[in-house]
Amino acid sequence: MKKSAKRGLISLLSILLALLACELPASSAPSVSTSAPGAVETIIFETAKAAQTQTVEFLPPTDTPTIRPTSTATRTKTPLPTSTVLFLFPTNTQVVLDLPGSGGGKPTKTPSPNEHDYKGTKKCAVVGQSPPDGTAFKPRKAFTVRWTIKNTGTAAWRKGSFDYLYIGGDKFHDRGLYDMNFILDPGETIDLKVDMHAPKQPGNYETIWILGTKKNALCNMTLAIVVK
């Protein structure tokens, strides 16, 4: 090719490029500074962070689940049955109460009613006494005399068939007549009690009692005291 033709072609291309540059607007591309190392990575990170923040702001609020404690069943212990111990007492047991100041006494034993023999002689003897004769007391001092009587006969004494009572001497007893409400077989003994008070005045005193009936005394009972 000739040099003149080459020059003409270059001139034509230059004109064509100039025209194209005038027709198309110049688009400016963002310039990225590469002066600092890691600048591109920093821009990408900040952009991703901003996008994440905007996403969180537009998300609807979520409900926080509430954990409620479950009820725990309480086990109830059933008590075991307890054993019951029963004490059985004989129904035919006779209990005799001897209260202080009530007078009377009790025999040394209480035989069965079928063992008594009420036929025979009826006698008695004083085999014991408390307090003994000659005991000193202060004026108006309260005390109890006890005579121990023995059935020296051959017949049993029926319940309530005899009394013991005051018949003479000084009166310093609280009560002058008592019923003997016991059955007394031959050879048995019984304590007869009488509540008394020493006289007001100092001196020697004696009281006389009998066991039996007013018409028939089985034995005499006496007590002599000193008041000081």
Closest among 223, 15, 7, 17 to 126, alpha carbons compared: 223
Is a pLDDT exceeding 50 seen at residue 41? no
Is the pTM value of this prediction over 0.85? no
Most confidently predicted of 57-66, 101-110, 118-127: 118-127
- Pairing outcome for strands 135-137 and 217-227: parallel
- Averaged pLDDT, 49-53: 50
Tens-place pLDDT, residues 132-173: 999 999 999 999 999 999 999 999 999 988 999 999 999 999
Q: Are 100 and 190 in contact (CB under 8 A)?
A: no
Tens-place pLDDT, residues 8-25: 667 777 776 666 655 544
Inter-CA distances, 8 with 1, 5, 12, 15, 19, Å: 11, 5, 6, 11, 17
- Residue 182's pLDDT band (cuts 50, 70, 90): confident
H-helix or E-strand spanning residue 178: strand 177-179
Which region among 148-157, 188-197, 212-221 has the lowest average model confidence (pLDDT)? Answer: 212-221
**CATH class of the region 113-227:** mainly beta
CB-based contacts of 118: which residues, under 8 Å, 6+ apart? 155, 156, 158
**3-class DSSP state of 58:** helix
Greater model confidence, 222 or 15: 222
Q: Tell me how far apart the alpha carbons of residues 49 and 56 are, in angstroms, rounded to a whole number.
A: 11
Most confidently predicted of 15-19, 56-60, 62-66, 120-124: 120-124
- Averaged pLDDT, 72-92: 52
212 Rama class: left (phi>0) / alpha (psi -120 to 50) / beta: left
Greater model confidence, 21 or 203: 203
Q: Tell me how far apart the alpha carbons of residues 156 and 160 are, in angstroms, rounded to a whole number.
A: 12
- Residue 211's pLDDT band (cuts 50, 70, 90): very high
Which region among 51-65, 74-88, 193-207 has the lowest average model confidence (pLDDT)? Answer: 51-65
Q: Tell me how far apart the alpha carbons of residues 158 and 181 are, in angstroms, rounded to a whole number.
A: 8
